[in-house]
Amino acid sequence: MESNIPLISVILPVYNAEKFLKQAIESVLSQSFTEFEIILINDGSTDDSEKEIKAFNDSRIRYFLNKTNLGLIDTLNKAIGLSRGKYIARMDADDICEPNRFEKQFNHLESNPDVVICGSWAKIIDESNATKGRIKRIDSNELIRANMLFTTPFIHPTVMIRREIFDTHLYNADAKHCEDLELWVRLSQNLRYKFHNLPNYLLKYRIHSSNISVTQNDYQTEKRKELIKPYLENLVGKVTNEELNIHFLAFSPFPVSKAERLEIKNWLVNLSKMNNSKKLFEQNSLNALLLSRWFITCIRSKTYVELLRIGLPWHKLSIFSMAVRLILFK
């Protein structure tokens, strides 16, 4: 490394992660791109996490111990303050990086100076490292911005972010368990910032009983609504709780009733009309996203005859093909 200053700072918070920590650290140390530092912060673990960390002898590891448990958000912000790299890569203590992850993300950010966040796809693994599924994320900036009307557009531990972003935007302590979504929504207010997901599986994302997404699922769902509501209101104005429920029902994984489908249809068409007036999102991208939500709503409710009965431009080939592509991302 030139002048011993790394190009990438990998921030890896640790709390009672002894079971998977060794694999996580090894996957970082085995990267094809080598100019990085790992900032490992042990957030007051009560298991043998520290023992696992100290078993490694690599000059790229910088180890810090919180004397008391600060929680994930404060630990992340502390790690950012300690970082020295041009880019910051997120990593969790139970996940596994593919060997070319940093190389691909670094090259993309270097080649695209307007992109501030670069994420990727991920494979889902269980506690035994067996592949159980895959997670894809929308790739283009325009679609990512529109998708934030419904959900988080990035898999948090896959992202690499320009360090300079954190000079003015740290994680928000009030967004517990949804700190990533809150940050993405906040950054999206600056139209100069571009977002991208590489269509490559660069992380093995581990699902187990202790995942926050498992233990705090109900809380995260409600918090996500709270965080997205102001973003949605930028487009449509004041949103009632009933409207907010209909909005998120369009992202439901379950069948919905005929009355609910009618409300969803009217709501999606209204979103398109409001954007056509306000121009907050690229219109074709938003229409494709809304159309994909309608298609999925009909498919899950097995009401195939209603697929094309919506006032969105499904007949426009570019929008229709984009909508189908978005469905395949799920």
What's the pLDDT band for 3 if we cut at 50, 70, 90? low
Looking at every residue in the chain, the average pLDDT score rounds to 94
* pLDDT at position 233 over 80: yes
Identity at 49, one-letter amino acid code: S
Residues 115 and 151 in one domain: yes
Residues 139 and 58 in one domain: yes
Domain that holds residue 183: 2-215
Q: What is the pLDDT of residue 208?
A: 84
Q: What is the pLDDT of residue 324?
A: 92
Residues 169 and 315 in one domain: no
Residues 174 and 323 in one domain: no
Residues 272 and 315 in one domain: yes
Structure tokens given for 206: 């581990």
pLDDT tens track for 39-90: 999 999 999 999 999 999 999 999 999 999 999 999 999 999 999 999 999 9
Residues 158 and 211 in one domain: yes
Phi, psi torsion values for 319, nearest 5 degrees = -75, -45
Q: 216 burial class (0-12, 13-18, 19+ CB within 10 angstroms)?
A: middle
Q: What is the pLDDT of residue 64?
A: 98
The answer as to whether 315 is a domain residue is: yes
The answer as to whether 233 is a domain residue is: no
| Contact between residue 8 and residue 85 where contact means Cβ atoms under 8 Å apart | yes
Looking up residue 30, the CATH number of its domain turns out to be 3.90.550.10
Residues 156 and 273 in one domain: no
Please count the structural domains in the chain.
Answer: 2
Q: What 8-state DSSP symbol labels residue 170?
A: P
Structure tokens given for 249: 């029902």
The answer as to whether 8 is a domain residue is: yes
* pLDDT at position 171 over 80: yes
The answer as to whether 220 is a domain residue is: no
Residues 27 and 129 in one domain: yes
Structure tokens given for 254: 């379950």
Per mean pLDDT, which range of 166-170, 271-275, 325-329 is the poorest? 325-329
What's the pLDDT band for 210 if we cut at 50, 70, 90? low
Residues 190 and 250 in one domain: no
Q: What is the pLDDT of residue 2?
A: 46
The answer as to whether 223 is a domain residue is: no
What's the pLDDT band for 216 if we cut at 50, 70, 90? low
Q: Under the phi-then-psi rule, with left for phi > 0, alpha for psi from -120 to 50, and beta for the rest, what region is 87?
A: beta
Q: What is the DSSP string of 16-76?
A: S-HHHHHHHHHHHHT-S---EEEEEEE-S-SSSHHHHHHT---TTEEEEE-SS---HHHHH
Residues 195 and 301 in one domain: no
The answer as to whether 113 is a domain residue is: yes
How big is the CA angle at 160 (ends 196 and 142), to the nearest 5 degrees?
15
Residues 97 and 244 in one domain: no
The answer as to whether 276 is a domain residue is: yes
Residues 51 and 185 in one domain: yes
Identity at 122, one-letter amino acid code: A
Structure tokens given for 74: 């404060």
CA distances (Å), origin 289, targets 71, 123, 148, 304, 328: 35, 23, 11, 18, 12
The answer as to whether 88 is a domain residue is: yes
